[in-house]
Amino acid sequence: MENPFAQVLCQRAWQRISAMGLEARRAAVDAGVVAAAGLMVVAAIGCAVAALWLLLAPLVGAAGAALSAAAALLAMGGTILGVRAIVARGRARPAANSGRDCQDLAEAAQLSFSANKAALLLAALAAGAAAADARRHT
């Protein structure tokens, strides 16, 4: 006779793994696209800051141009962080679990526990003995 607890666990795990395969592929493609776009944006920002530096160097000197470029980078970073905070605040919360999966799992666990009381008691006894032995040696 097969264990209903193991059946439910295997079925749920297989469903999760199957769904994760598609999600993992999509996430990998998304990560690659975002990384490439990010690299291009960083290069463009570097070019813009270098152009600003070259433009301002004759007007305000080398130190003034460097400070102006640093201020421009700080302003861009602050803007990016502000946009990120606004976007993060507006994200929808994930839907709460209906509890049906947990209920199925609890029912299967109850059936399994009632069918295998002796094995579970021996496992608990062995775990307790191992924990006591480990505590005694420390």
What's the pLDDT at 84? Answer: 84
- pLDDT band (50, 70, 90) for residue 96: low
Q: Which pLDDT band, with edges at 50, 70 and 90, does 95 fall under?
A: low
Domain boundaries, the chain: 1-91, 99-138
The span from the CA of 96 to the CA of 98, in Å, is 6
Mean pLDDT of 36-60: 89
pTM above 0.75, yes or no: no
Looking at residues 116-130, what average pLDDT do you find?
Answer: 73
Neighbours of 83 (CB within 10 A): 10
Share of the chain above pLDDT 70, in %: 73
Res. 73: pLDDT tops 70 = yes
| CA–CA dist 49, 66 (Å, integer) | 9
- Mean pLDDT for 127-133 is 75
| Res 82: pLDDT | 86
79 has a pLDDT exceeding 80: yes
